[in-house]
Amino acid sequence: VEEILRSKKIELPKKLAKRYPAYELYLYGEGSYAEEHKVLPLTGIPVLFLPGNAGSYKQVRSIGSIALRKAEDIDFKYHFDFFSVNFNEELVALYGGSLQKQTKFVHECIKTILKLYKGQEFAPKSVAIIGHSMGGLVARALLTLKNFKQDLINLLITQATPHVAPVMPLDRFITDFYMTVNNYWILNARHINLTTLSVAGGFRDYQVRSGLTFLPKLSHHTSALSVVSSAVPKTWVSTDHLSIVWCKQLQLTTIRAFFDLIDADTKQITQNPKKKLSVLNHHFIRHPAKHFEENPSIISDLTGI
């Protein structure tokens, strides 16, 4: 009961609720933050969590809670609003017939979320997405929709998502969906400006092996990174398929990156693709054991020695 009270159900337009009766959209909250945000509009930075196969919208709790603690530490100078989609725990890894429907619903959710900030001084024009497992694939599938505008997403982080191929190709819906998504991303690699990070669970993830989580090769030339959790600085551990969403070390790394991505002028996630890649590279790949600096100064000059 306590967990349910933490999340506020977002009222969807009647037509949308009628078209997708099994799906819902929630805003995560706790304590005074939850009380304050019972009344809209919102003032933070929107992040949308998409659960995977048989996943729950409540899985956003781990990262949402850590983000709230971090915002409290800086006296809410910046804060993130974590939304989560309830896909009714559908088994999309076993039956792919719902994947297209989920993708279209997420598109409508993004538009609904952005309307919640209408009239605010620093209103966002896009959302960041975190997708667990098949939720990450649904997020990538958004770009294949006819009327989808790519600039509605400013960042995509996928956790243990089998991007390359389905773990079990049980029906043609799954295989066709994969073919459509991957063909689109490969053929349009030069035009896809979406900064994307794929995090694999490593050897403990028996459901999705790390080889399946790598993004299409062509996209590495532009704005994509693929890592394994056991190689992520300050994380250094392998996670199983479920615990990747609540692994504290990994969620801390993700939240640190989110806060470093904020543009001080717009109070939203930066639109600069170079800075986005630089921040993700700093936190998930190299991390020189210090705070992120956009233009790091030379510590020592060895010329003339």
Digit-coded pLDDT (tens) for 268-292? 999 999 999 999 999 999 876 677 8
Q: Give the confidence band of 24 by pLDDT, cuts at 50, 70, 90.
A: very high
Active site residue ranges: 133
Taking the C-alpha atoms of residue 39 and residue 202, their distance in angstroms, rounded to an integer, is 42
Largest CA distance in the chain: 74
Residue 192 has pLDDT above 80, yes or no: yes
Contact present, 228 and 210 (Cβ < 8 Å) = yes
Q: How far, CA to CA in Å, does 230 sit from each of 62, 155, 158, 238, 288?
A: 19, 22, 16, 5, 17
**pLDDT tens figures, 119-169:** 899 999 999 999 999 999 999 999 999 999 999 999 999 999 999 999 999
d(C-alpha 77, C-alpha 29), whole Å: 17
The pLDDT assigned to 109 comes to 98
Confidence of residue 2 (pLDDT cuts 50, 70, 90): very low
According to the model, what pLDDT value does residue 193 have? 87
Least confident of 206-215, 264-273, 290-299: 290-299
pLDDT at 221: 52
Q: How far is 191 from 276, CA to CA, in rounded Å?
A: 17
* Contact between residue 167 and residue 174 where contact means Cβ atoms under 8 Å apart: no
Average pLDDT over residues 108-117: 97
Query: Two tokens at 67?
Result: 């983000």
Query: In this predicted model, what pLDDT tens digit does every residue of 229-268 receive, in sequence order?
Result: 999 998 999 999 999 999 999 999 999 999 999 999 999 9
Q: Is the pLDDT of residue 49 over 90?
A: yes
Angstrom distance (rounded) from CA 47 to CA 36 = 18
Q: Compute the average pLDDT of residues 46-71.
A: 96
